[in-house]
Amino acid sequence: MTGFSIAVQGAVGTLDERARRVLFARTSASDPAIRDRTARIIDTVRADGDDALIRYAAEFDGVALEALEVPRAVWRTALDATAPELQRVLERAAANIRQVHEAFRPLAREVVTADGVVIGRRPDPLGRVGVYAPGGRAAYPSSLLMGVIPARVAGVDEVVVCSPPGPDGLPSGVLMAAAELAGADRLFAVGGAGAIAALAYGTATIPPVDRIVGPGNAYVAEAKAQVSSVTAIDSPAGPSELLIIADGSASPDVVTRELLAQAEHDPMTAVVLVSTSSPLLDAVAQRLAEWTPGEPRADVIAAAFAARGALLLADSLDEAIAFSNRWAPEHLLIATGAPDTVLPRVRNAGTVFVGETAAVAFGDYMSGANHVLPTGGLSRAYSGLSTIDFYRWTTWQRIGRVAAAALANDVGTFADAEGLPAHAASARQWRAGAR
């Protein structure tokens, strides 16, 4: 590894335009080459279906698939073959995810807006959803659990999973074990943009779904964006992000470990520390330079800090919080002496870790909160994956005869103002004495 450097250092209030671009230009929008290639893959899968997926498996994954679907018995065998300690950990994570998502299920409600006027809204589970579980260079059973279990909790009729095949033509064993534990219905050894196209449009083997969720590489993210007019998707996602708000009470060792843990995800990961303490920033900078060379993923970490890493000094906690709300991170860690006073003031974050003992890794794997989160500043408008993403809402209205008479004249006046006389007549037929 070459010398370690950090993309941006300085005071929040004095950042120049270049520094701001480095920090804020982190959307998931792909370059034209990725957009065009993804569009071609989608069009080919729409036209050729399973045959296209088999060709792409040979081209991208280097495997000759005999079948796209993985039989259920193979999942069960994979679970049985999983080391007992890992199986116990998977089961614990699954139980926590299930408990959290059961607690936040939405409820049907009715409200009376006037005498005789009742409006209701009911959450109805989706019919079929697709969960994408990344594979390739690394398998992420945690992401599979985060997608499948909330769908099951919501009562989705059918949950199908796509994940890239390995050299043996199957997704990784731990991922198949997680699919069995989570209660998925079907599993397909299909990855990349082709999998997203298949889930959106359907093939002879893979059924089309009502919503696609789960993280993936740039091609997967682009494919989800391109099919979003056909099927719903979760929040757009790009490289991972962490922002830490810290004061002088924070441990430089803890803060440094958190930054390193997030930076090892990807060379495009964004890792930012905003602190009111100059000594803390200096201590963290020193530790990053000293510790990074010894990390197994040192090259990835160094690339992330050189591209989108920042150590910033804030004049006050107010300034640090304001910066966080503008930057809108995927993960926010509050490492201050009184983190609970900061939490209510946080507006835009995918998930917030309150206090320095709330390591982000706990949320990635075990706390039960969902780790499928918006990135690129999109937490200003999007939320993390939850049971809500697996429902659509049915609204109903009850308007009795007395209520209809009371509404008739006002609705008629409104409709006249919009130049819709048939609307006005439809309302006025219910005036008192009109029938």
> Three-state SS across the chain?
CCCCCCCEEEEHHHCCHHHHHHHHCCCCCCCHHHHHHHHHHHHHHHHHCHHHHHHHHHHHHCCCCCCCECCHHHHHHHHHHCCHHHHHHHHHHHHHHHHHHHHCCCCCEEEEEECCEEEEEEEEECCEEEEECCCCCCCCHHHHHHHHHHHHHHCCCEEEEECCCCCCCCCCHHHHHHHHHHCCCEEECCCHHHHHHHHHHCCCCCCCCCEEECCCCHHHHHHHHHCCCCCEECCCCCCCEEEEEECCCCCHHHHHHHHHHHHCCCCCCEEEEEECCHHHHHHHHHHHHHHHHHCCCHHHHHHHHHHHEEEEECCCHHHHHHHHHHHCCCEEEEECCCHHHHHHHCCCCCEEEECCCCCHHHHHHCCCCCCCCCCCCHHHCCCCCCHHHHEEEEEEEEECHHHHHHHHHHHHHHHHHCCCHHHHHHHHCCCCCCC
- pLDDT tens, position by position, 120-167: 999 999 999 999 999 866 789 999 999 999 999 999 999 999 999 999
pTM (two decimals): 0.93
pLDDT of res. 238: 79
Q: Which residue has the tokens 């201590």?
A: 283
Residue 137 confidence (pLDDT)? 66
- What's the mean pLDDT in 400-413? 96
Tens digit of each residue's pLDDT (9 = 90 or more) over 306-338: 999 999 999 999 999 999 999 999 999 999 999
Residue 156's CB is within 10 A of a number of other CB atoms, namely 22
The mean pLDDT value of the chain amounts to: 95
For residue 28, pLDDT over 80 is answered with: no
pLDDT tens digits for range 269-301: 999 999 999 999 999 999 999 999 999 999 999
pLDDT at 2 over 60: no
**CB-CB contact of 223 with 38 (8 Å):** yes
Q: Which two tokens stand for residue 24?
A: 């804020």
Mean pLDDT of 363-386: 94
- Arithmetic mean of pLDDT, 53-62: 95
Segment 176-197 mean pLDDT: 97
- pLDDT score, position 12: 96
Can you tell me the mean pLDDT for 241-251? 98
Average pLDDT over residues 23-29: 76
State yes or no: pLDDT of 27 exceeds 80. Answer: no
* pLDDT band, very low/low/confident/very high, at 171 (cuts 50, 70, 90): very high
Token code pair at residue 199: 């889930």
Q: State phi, psi for 399 to the nearest 5 degrees.
A: -130, 105
Size of the chain in residues = 435
Q: Which domains does the chain have, with CATH numbers?
A: 8-28+238-368 (3.40.50.1980), 32-233 (3.40.50.1980), 400-428 (no CATH)
Check if the beta carbon of residue 166 is closer than 8 Å to that of residue 137: no
Residues contacting residue 199 through CB under 8 Å, at least 6 positions apart:
130, 132, 160, 162, 206, 208, 209, 212, 227, 231
Between 208 and 138, the higher pLDDT residue: 208
Which residues, in sequence order, are bridge partners of residue 273?
A: 244, 311
Question: What is the rounded distance in angstroms from the CA atom of residue 60 to the CA atom of residue 57?
Answer: 5
Is it the case that residue 104 has pLDDT exceeding 70?
A: yes
Are the C-beta atoms of residues 180 and 161 closer than 8 Å to each other? no
Among residues of the chain, what percentage have pLDDT more than 70? Answer: 98
pLDDT at 239: 85
Residues taking part in catalysis: 330-331
* Residue range 68-75: mean pLDDT, rounded: 97
- pLDDT recorded at residue 1: 44
